[in-house]
Amino acid sequence: MSGNEVNDPRIYGIKTKIRVVPDFPKKGIMFQDITTLLLDPKAFQDTIDLFVERYRDMNISVVAGIEARGFIFGSPIALAIGAKFVPLRKPKKLPGETIFEEYELEYGSDRLEMHVEAVNPGDRALVIDDLIATGGTLCAAMNLLERVGAEVVECACVIELPELKGRERLGGKPLCVLVEYR
Amino acid sequence: MQTMISNRLCLAPPLPHRRALSPRLCFSGGLRLHLATPSFVFFESRCVVKVEAVARASSRDCEMATDNGQDPRIAKISSSIRVIPDFPKPGIMFQDITTLLLDTEAFKDTINMFVERYEGKDISVVAGVEARGFIFGPPIALAIGAKFVPMRKPKKLPGKVISEEYSLEYGTDKIEMHVGAVEPGERAIIIDDLIATGGTLAAAIRLLERVGVKIVECACVIELPELKGKDKLGETPLFVLVSSA
């Protein structure tokens, strides 16, 4: 499901609520700001509804949300479909036993962590973030889930930047987005 | 401080040893308060932390979420929270809500308890403090038809922001909010998973008040009452589901 393929009238309303902020966090980057979407209760609800409608009959037991904007979308989706919500976090935020996956940044690398006991082998999982750019973070998220024996059913983001080809980094896993920004 | 003095009677001091559970009944004027049935959490070092489940109304304008007696959902919510000793450093008993998020019924109940309290109260803004406030705030905002406004660490929000500094144990930190996210006269609640010293919530209150918003209440899943965070909130009432002594 992408902005091109689905003719759902709600998508247009969602797209117009996303604010593009030029030169953030640095020059040349057109930052896709979803906070303006969150200020419109109807558009925010529509965003969640579109994902819930897609996933509620797919027997999903885990919604993994990537810190921090993935929490905003992942949590309501998890609640609506009756799945566990699993936060995937930056290093040292999660107490107790964790596993980590490293991923590359433009300069250097970062890590994503997950609680080992949060997910069981056989869990069917979604990975949620606000946006997919290069796909590095989503890839790390999928690896974490697969390492503990979960099946990643799909990755879901509000926005895709298709020119960065993040979709190709997902190892064939399906990706569902609502809005593309070219 | 808006909590009625007699609320304090509901909270027993921390116990160094196990004792018989007994519900505690507290009444104050016309307010009906929840029964607190203590539950105990044992962990490796063999200390007992009494986690008492209390939902307290701390403003005369707020209604209670339930009628007489303890809301049956509270015990489940309370017992789903995991306590991790010595995190992030020795001596700290970390209240881990991630286990609550794994219990679909307890998570739903948590959100429902806040929604029942705040729906129909003309609240147009739910402000959530990064990052665990981003887990509880959005579902509440959606359910009551309010905007969700993230309050973030520095440099995360693009565009124009206003910021407010607050003290840490060592040094200071800032939280930021978008200019124009809220308008003067709007009624807001502020959500976080836990209130400890109250520094972050107090900063969030100041930020919103600076732009003319009325903060109806601060709402947290957990309070650490010994840290007296409530004292930092000034006129703003505090509502919590679980109080961890």
In a domain, A48, yes or no: no
- Which residue is listed with tokens 């503990």? A148
User: Percentage of residues in chain A with pLDDT exceeding 70?
Assistant: 96
In a domain, A50, yes or no: no
Residue B6 three-state SS: helix
- pLDDT digits over A94-104, tens only? 999 999 999 99
Q: Is the pLDDT of residue A120 over 70?
A: yes
3-state helix vs strand vs coil in chain B, percent to 5: 25, 30, 45
- Contacting residues for A57 by C-beta, under 8 A, at least 6 apart: none
Instruction: Kindly report the backbone phi and psi dihedral angles of residue A176, in degrees, each rounded to the nearest multiple of 5, phi listed first.
Output: -115, 125
Report chain B residues whose CB lies below 8 A from the CB of A40.
Answer: 147
**Burial label, A27 (beta-carbon count in 10 A; 0-12, 13-18, 19+):** exposed
Q: What is the pLDDT of residue B69?
A: 65
- Compute the residue count for chain B: 245
Number of domains in chain A: 1
Determine whether B165 is an active site residue.
no
Q: Which amino acid is at A135?
A: G
Report chain B residues whose CB lies below 8 A from the CB of A47.
Answer: none
Q: For every one of its 245 residues, what pLDDT tens digit does chain B have, with 9 covering 90 and above?
A: 333 322 322 233 333 333 333 333 223 233 233 333 333 333 333 333 333 344 443 433 333 344 346 789 999 999 999 999 999 889 989 999 999 999 999 999 999 999 999 999 999 999 999 999 999 999 999 999 999 999 999 999 999 999 999 998 788 999 999 999 999 999 999 999 999 999 999 999 999 999 999 999 999 999 999 999 999 999 999 999 999 87
Number of H helices, E strands in chain A: 5, 9
Split at pLDDT 50, 70, 90, the class of A108 is: confident
- pLDDT digits over A21-67, tens only? 999 999 999 999 999 999 999 999 999 999 999 999 999 999 999 99
Q: State the sign of the Cα–Cα–Cα–Cα dihedral B78, B115, B128, A76.
A: positive
Mutation for testing the A interface, residue in B98, B107, B110 having most A CBs under 10 Å: B98
**CB distance B94–A95 less than 8 Å?**
yes
- Number of A–B residue contacts, CB under 8 Å: 106
Tell me the CATH number at A92: 3.40.50.2020
Determine whether B24 is an active site residue.
no
Tell me the CATH number at B213: 3.40.50.2020
In a domain, A17, yes or no: no
In a domain, A19, yes or no: no
In a domain, B31, yes or no: no
Residue B163 lies in domain: 121-243
Nearest CB neighbour to B157, from listed A35, A65, A73: A35
Instruction: Kindly report the backbone phi and psi dihedral angles of residue B83, in degrees, each rounded to the nearest multiple of 5, phi listed first.
Output: -105, 125
Q: What is the pLDDT of residue A106?
A: 78
Rg of chain A taking only CA atoms, in angstroms: 16
Q: What is the pLDDT of residue B45?
A: 32
Number of domains in chain B: 1
Bridge partners (DSSP) of residue B220 are B192, B240
Q: Are strands A19-22 and A30-33 parallel, antiparallel or unpaired?
A: antiparallel
Q: What is the pLDDT of residue B245?
A: 76
Rg of chain B taking only CA atoms, in angstroms: 18
Q: What is the pLDDT of residue B222?
A: 97
**CB distance B135–A75 less than 8 Å?**
yes
Q: In chain A, which residues touch B (CB < 8 A)?
A: 19, 21, 24-25, 31, 33, 35, 38-41, 44-45, 48, 65, 67-69, 71-73, 75-76, 78-79, 82-87, 89, 92-96, 115, 118
Note whether B126 and B189 are within 8 A (CB): yes
In a domain, B89, yes or no: no
What ipTM score was computed for the predicted complex, to two decimals? 0.96
Bridge partners (DSSP) of residue B127 are B149, B190
Q: In chain B, which residues touch A (CB < 8 A)?
A: 82, 84, 87-88, 94, 96, 98, 101-104, 107-108, 111, 130-132, 134-136, 138-139, 141-142, 145-150, 152, 155-159, 178, 181
Q: What is the pLDDT of residue B43?
A: 34
- Could you tell me the pTM of the whole model? 0.84
Mutation for testing the B interface, residue in A38, A47, A81, A112 having most B CBs under 10 Å: A38
In a domain, A35, yes or no: no
Tell me the three-class secondary structure of A4-22, residue by residue.
CCCCCHHHHHHHHHCEEEE
Report chain B residues whose CB lies below 8 A from the CB of A97.
Answer: none
Q: What is the pLDDT of residue B134?
A: 98
- How crowded is residue B198: how many other Cβ atoms within 10 Å of its Cβ? 23
Note whether B34 and B71 are within 8 A (CB): yes
Query: Residue B130's closest chain A neighbor by CA?
Result: A68
Q: A89-98, A165-174, B20-29: which has the minimum mean pLDDT?
A: B20-29
In a domain, A14, yes or no: no
Q: What is the pLDDT of residue B11?
A: 32
- Which residue is listed with tokens 């998890």? A78
In a domain, A1, yes or no: no
Note whether B233 and B156 are within 8 A (CB): no
Annotated active-site residue in A69, A89, A154, A167:
A69
**CB distance A38–B96 less than 8 Å?**
no
Residue A109 lies in domain: 59-180
